[in-house]
Amino acid sequence: MIPVTKPFLPREEEFKEYLDSIWERQWLTNNGPLLNDFELKLKEYLNIRHLLFVCNGTFALQLAIKALELKGEIITTPFSYVATTSSIVWEGCRPVYVDIDPETFNIDPLKIEQAITNKTSAILATHVYGNPCDIDTIQQIADKHGLKVIYDAAHCFGTKYKNKSVFEYGDISTTSFHATKLLHTIEGGAVFTRDPDLLKKMLYLRNFGHNGPEAFASVGINGKNCEFHAAMGLCNLKHVDEILERRKLLSEHYFQRLANIHARFPKLNQDKDYNYAYFPMLFQTEDLRIKCMNQLELSKIYCRRYFSPALSTLPYVRQVKMPVCDDVVKKIVCLPLYHSLTFPDLDMICRIIERTQNYNIIESALPENFGVTIADKIETEINDLKSFS
């Protein structure tokens, strides 16, 4: 079975060392030494000043919206994971969708201004697949209209924009360290800001508002993370350069192998250092996307439709047509990409896609009811392939 992703796991002994230290101290949560160490090492690695490790990436988004005291309408993208929209709604604001750029699949900055009303308080954009948005243009629009900017940078560990961590942009950026993400702590997330006052505010909000054992600076909630998740983060951070390098090699191999496929890949921002967090592929037609996914599933290869559905079609939002996004959602697929994926498996995935496309072309040229189906043809070939690997 080849899933779309598999979590990176350090050697068990590496994790055990941290566990032993936890048992020794018997300090499990509440700002423990491993959590502090993880925050410190993250700052060093990313070369940034401020961040807070929190319980997950969705809470990080909620915390950002809360700390900026956003009200009314928040301009956002229809093409992201559901948490981008659900956290807006959860915090009592209304998502207003702006369609995506047909090349990058990030929010289209040229369409933002026409969506601004006197109720707009912020722009919440996702750097889709770890590829930075048009950050400069978005910031110019926000400055002109007095709006806050939040980036959902859940896919962005290791991505840089103009030689700085992409987490440095916007009023607040958030990320996720969920098990499916490039760097994970099993469950976890973080908020980033360059503003020390905002950081302090979020520090209180994260921990019940405590500013002493019996003192409270503000309202707060429990958004803390704990020693065990920090331990996993510390282990994985040691391997993150290796993880980034491996993904780059695998992705480059995919690009080579898929050169003859009628498909498009997102256009990468030119001011970036990319992290190869996902391998998205936009088929020419929905039909071909479905056929390829079906053929891959016959060989127990499972891709995922990141992202489907369009968030602008969720049952709890004011539903709107987003022509570019609605079209991309039908044709997009993320191919398997993870640290332990092998090159022979990757080759097999590419050959199945290639054959499906080629037979699709042949089949559509044959008279109807000719009796040849893609499934028949490919099944024999797949069996051949399997005998190789």
Ligand X SMILES: *Cc1c(COP(=O)(O)O)cnc(C)c1O
Q: Provide φ and ψ at 175, rounded to 5°.
A: -140, 170
The distance of closest approach from Cβ of residue 186 to ligand X in the complex, given in angstroms and rounded to an integer, is 10
Tell me which stretch binds ligand X (CB under 6 A): 34-42, 68-76, 152-160, 222-230.
152-160
Q: Does 83 bind ligand X (CB under 6 A)?
A: yes
Query: Among all chains, which residue has been given the structure tokens 């840089």?
Result: 160
The distance of closest approach from Cβ of residue 157 to ligand X in the complex, given in angstroms and rounded to an integer, is 11
The distance of closest approach from Cβ of residue 385 to ligand X in the complex, given in angstroms and rounded to an integer, is 32
Beta strands in the chain (DSSP E): 51-54, 73-76, 94-97, 120-126, 148-152, 160-161, 164-165, 172-176, 189-192, 210-212, 215-216, 263-264, 272-273, 279-283, 332-335
Tell me which stretch binds ligand X (CB under 6 A): 50-58, 132-140, 235-243, 272-280.
50-58
Query: Residue 143: how many CB atoms within 10 A of its CB?
Result: 10
Query: Of the candidates 80, 106, 165, 299, which one interacts with ligand X according to CB under 6 A?
Result: 80
Task: Yes or no: say if 88 and 74 are a contact pair by the CB < 8 Å rule.
Answer: yes
**Checking phi first, is residue 158 left (phi over 0); if not, alpha (psi -120 to 50) or beta?**
left
Q: Does 56 bind ligand X (CB under 6 A)?
A: yes
The distance of closest approach from Cβ of residue 169 to ligand X in the complex, given in angstroms and rounded to an integer, is 16
User: Hey, which residues between 159 and 178 contact ligand X (CB under 6 A)?
Assistant: 176, 178
Give the number of residues written for the chain: 389
Q: Which is nearer to ligand X, 77 or 207 (CB)?
A: 77
Tell me which stretch binds ligand X (CB under 6 A): 32-40, 63-71, 149-157, 349-357.
149-157
Q: Which is nearer to ligand X, 88 or 250 (CB)?
A: 88
Alpha helices (runs of H) in 146-239, residue ranges in sequence order: 196-206, 227-237
Query: Of the candidates 70, 112, 154, 250, which one interacts with ligand X according to CB under 6 A?
Result: 154
309's tokens = 């559905």
Q: Does 126 bind ligand X (CB under 6 A)?
A: yes
Q: Does 84 bind ligand X (CB under 6 A)?
A: yes
The distance of closest approach from Cβ of residue 188 to ligand X in the complex, given in angstroms and rounded to an integer, is 7
CA 127/CA 273 separation, integer angstroms: 13
Q: Which is nearer to ligand X, 82 or 219 (CB)?
A: 82
The pattern of x and - marking residues 189 through 228 that bind ligand X according to CB under 6 A reads: x---------------------------------------
Q: Does 85 bind ligand X (CB under 6 A)?
A: no
Nearest to 175 by CA among 158, 190, 195: 190
Query: Among all chains, which residue has been given the structure tokens 């080849």?
Result: 2
Q: Does 280 bind ligand X (CB under 6 A)?
A: no
Name 69's Cβ contacts closer than 8 Å, sequence gap at least 6: none
Q: Which is nearer to ligand X, 65 or 288 (CB)?
A: 65
The distance of closest approach from Cβ of residue 287 to ligand X in the complex, given in angstroms and rounded to an integer, is 27
Provide the terminal-to-terminal Cα distance of the chain, rounded to the nearest Å. 13
> What would you measure as the largest C-alpha separation in the chain, in angstroms?
80
Q: Does 129 bind ligand X (CB under 6 A)?
A: no
| CA dihedral sign, ordered 267, 144, 191, 167 | positive
Residues that bind ligand X (CB under 6 A): 56-58, 80-81, 83-84, 126, 152, 154-155, 176, 178, 189
